[in-house]
């Protein structure tokens, strides 16, 4: 979602962790790091400059966090489902509201429980947003509703 969007509601001074649908060989902005197929940002002051190309998956934290290894391009039902192993859901057209995604949703909520991000964003054919911050969640929900 380009331009002015619900992204503008995200808290400043947060660190983003990107588990992108593509392999992380692209050039990242200064200060970003790539480890084990996961990209890590420095604190983000302005969301308008974030690298986004669609099919992005973001974990948002207040502090620096190391998630371990991404299992991008692997069968998510065959990889370790534990701390230090990150499943990339965005590649599966994942949408929390779709009943046929129930098995993926179970894995998703298990992963969220051990990663514990402040917020999670996946942008593909569907937009998924999850946040422990109720005020932020309400703000993003209202901004998305206003877009339609």
**Average confidence (pLDDT) per 10 residues, the chain, 148 residues:** 48 54 58 82 77 79 86 84 86 88 92 92 87 92 88
pTM for this predicted structure: 0.81
- Rounded to 5 degrees, φ, ψ at 34 are -125, 125
Nearest 5°: the CA angle 101, 34, 58 is 35
HSE (side-chain half, CA atoms, 13 Å) at 72: 19
Please tell me the distance from the alpha carbon of residue 19 to that of residue 86, in angstroms, as a whole number.
Answer: 8
pLDDT of residue 147: 86
Domain boundaries along the sequence of the chain: 14-147
Q: Is the dihedral of CA 123, 127, 128, 129 positive or negative?
A: positive
HSE (side-chain half, CA atoms, 13 Å) at 27: 2
């Amino acid at each position: 979602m380009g331009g002015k969007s619900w992204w503008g509601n995200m808290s400043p001074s947060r660190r983003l962790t990107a588990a992108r649908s593509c392999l992380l060989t692209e050039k990242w902005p200064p200060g970003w790091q790539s480890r084990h197929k996961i990209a890590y940002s420095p604190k983000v002051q302005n969301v308008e400059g974030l690298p986004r190309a669609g099919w992005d998956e973001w974990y948002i934290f207040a502090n620096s966090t190391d998630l371990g290894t991404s299992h991008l391009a692997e069968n998510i039902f065959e990889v370790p489902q534990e701390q230090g192993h990150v499943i990339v859901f965005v590649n599966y057209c994942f949408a929390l509201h779709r009943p046929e995604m129930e098995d993926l949703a179970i894995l998703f909520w298990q992963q969220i429980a051990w990663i514990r991000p402040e917020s999670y964003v996946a942008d593909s054919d569907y937009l998924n947003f999850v946040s422990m911050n109720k005020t932020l969640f309400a703000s993003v929900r209202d901004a998305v509703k206003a877009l339609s």
